[in-house]
Structure 1
């Protein structure tokens, strides 16, 4: 497994890319309202990235092996869509939940992050799923330090999520990131403590758990990209890009409008 350990120059450029990705989400937040289409959200983000930030939208025309090029600049996954939802003419309505997944390229380096949005008031069940998924991401992030393993990260997320009756999607995971969109290692959101890759200072990867309110089984839609829950239950996802530091971690995808880190001690008490 070829895991790229980042040097100080890489890390500084990843900080910039990560902050810019998070700032796209800050920018788009007031626009995520009932009546707007996911295609309109995509255009707003695209124009902001290209014309204001001077960044490149990494998803646009991205084509990993076996996939046709992704046709838009962001991913918009609504309600039972788990990930990789393609923006289009679908109007958001009050009560919807939507994940906006942003990846920018700045000076050759990728910043990758996503947030959940509840349109309007939202049901108690929908808001709870979004909140627990956010907390699960942070529970995983809090395991990151040199000497820990990716199994520690996955186990912490899985145990926390399943404790609330949610299921963890297994077919999609976090990933190393840097000058490439997807690098080694794969970061599973389930697992056993003490197993998997041992973390080292200078590793950078995403942690992006996808939790379903129902069963974990998934289905790919005919567009070749959009992934949905097989049982049509709601799904939520949050994502941060994380650096392994000398004695812990640094979250690179933060900005002025990024939601605050929850009290981990209170969550695990």
Structure 2
């Protein structure tokens, strides 16, 4: 366990570069999926595209077989928050779809998630566009809160503050899903410590150069409460409200941050905090 004075494990520069290779596979796969999603496809169709994309880039899916998970990606639709199992469900225009993807390259993991609307923005409910944008913005707020020498749980405070601001500005009910967090990542997909999506009493371990974490807020248009379906994977909102999920894997470098699963490394969002390794 991580105590008050503990520090996040550090990766060497070469190990971070290895993780970037895995992260690019994930980012490229999600970019491809975002262009493929359309009405009439099943969630299993998306899974097939993802597996071909990952293996075609010389990587291995992180999720397939993980604790028995039967697919390459998680596809969560509308009131499904996370861990949706791809199958026979047919997508319709206006569906809000969160896609979570992981890949392994030479033993190192990348993990990322996006939320898209089937049929594009023109087919979306306004509240769904607001939800997805607020969730993505809170993820970037959390990423920017990663600071060497500061505490990891500052990330959750930044996510919460961002969601609070968005809810007030948009005049929407936005809730952070209770009980689900981001995580450390490296030679395993899920490692300690937890990366909370809300303010907590503890400050958490110190962030240092070489730390790698996955930050992944999950936000709903209603309740913070959820439950797992009988498939023992799919998590849905208790009140049937829609949910969005955004995630990136990030490395802390000497000069700033490198978003390993973003195709541009996070440059567009981070500005002068963007600091990839050579």
Same-fold status (TM-score > 0.5): yes
On the 8 A contact 1:22/1:258 being kept in 2, the answer is no
Distance 1:257 1:232, change over 3 A: farther
2:130 corresponding residue in structure 1: 128
Query: Which of 211, 215, 238 in structure 1 is aligned with 2:223?
Result: 215
Query: Which of 13, 17, 21 in structure 2 is aligned with 1:8?
Result: 13
The aligned length equals 258
Residue 151 of structure 1, CA deviation: 2.1
1:141 corresponding residue in structure 2: 143
On the 8 A contact 2:107/2:187 being kept in 1, the answer is yes
CA distance in 2, matches of 1:259, 1:5: 22
On the 8 A contact 2:210/2:252 being kept in 1, the answer is yes
**SS at the partner of 2:66?**
coil
Residue 150 of structure 1, CA deviation: 2.1
CA distance in 2, matches of 1:231, 1:255: 35
Larger mean Cα displacement after TM superposition, 165-174 or 17-26: 165-174
CA distance in 2, matches of 1:9, 1:259: 20
CA distance in 2, matches of 1:13, 1:247: 19
CA distance in 2, matches of 1:199, 1:262: 18
On the 8 A contact 2:178/2:226 being kept in 1, the answer is no
**SS at the partner of 1:102?**
strand
2:212 corresponding residue in structure 1: 204
Query: Which of 57, 60, 63 in structure 1 is aligned with 2:61?
Result: 57
**SS at the partner of 1:114?**
strand
Distance 1:157 1:229, change over 3 A: same
Query: Which of 246, 260, 264 in structure 2 is aligned with 1:238?
Result: 246
* TM-score, normalised via structure 2 length: 0.88
On the 8 A contact 2:144/2:270 being kept in 1, the answer is no
Long gaps (5+) in structure 2 = 3-7, 168-172, 272-278
CA distance in 2, matches of 1:261, 1:248: 13
* Equivalent runs, 1:153-232 vs 2, <5 Å: 153-163=155-165, 164=167, 165-192=173-200, 195-232=203-240
Query: Which of 20, 31, 42 in structure 1 is aligned with 2:25?
Result: 20
Residue 49 of structure 1, CA deviation: 1.2
Deviations 1:208-260 (A, max 9, x none): 00001101001000000100101110100100001112243211112169995
On the 8 A contact 1:97/1:118 being kept in 2, the answer is yes
CA distance in 2, matches of 1:260, 1:100: 22
Residue 162 of structure 1, CA deviation: 2.7
Larger mean Cα displacement after TM superposition, 150-159 or 243-252: 243-252
1:66 corresponding residue in structure 2: none
Long gaps (5+) in structure 1 = 64-68, 264-269
**SS at the partner of 1:150?**
coil
Deviations 1:114-151 (A, max 9, x none): 11111122110011100110101001111111022122
Q: Let me know the Cα RMSD of the aligned residues.
A: 2.0
Deviations 1:1-60 (A, max 9, x none): 37431012211101111111100011222210111100000011111211x211111100
Distance 1:256 1:203, change over 3 A: closer
Counterpart check, 1:70 vs 2:72: no
CA distance in 2, matches of 1:245, 1:90: 42
On the 8 A contact 2:259/2:265 being kept in 1, the answer is no
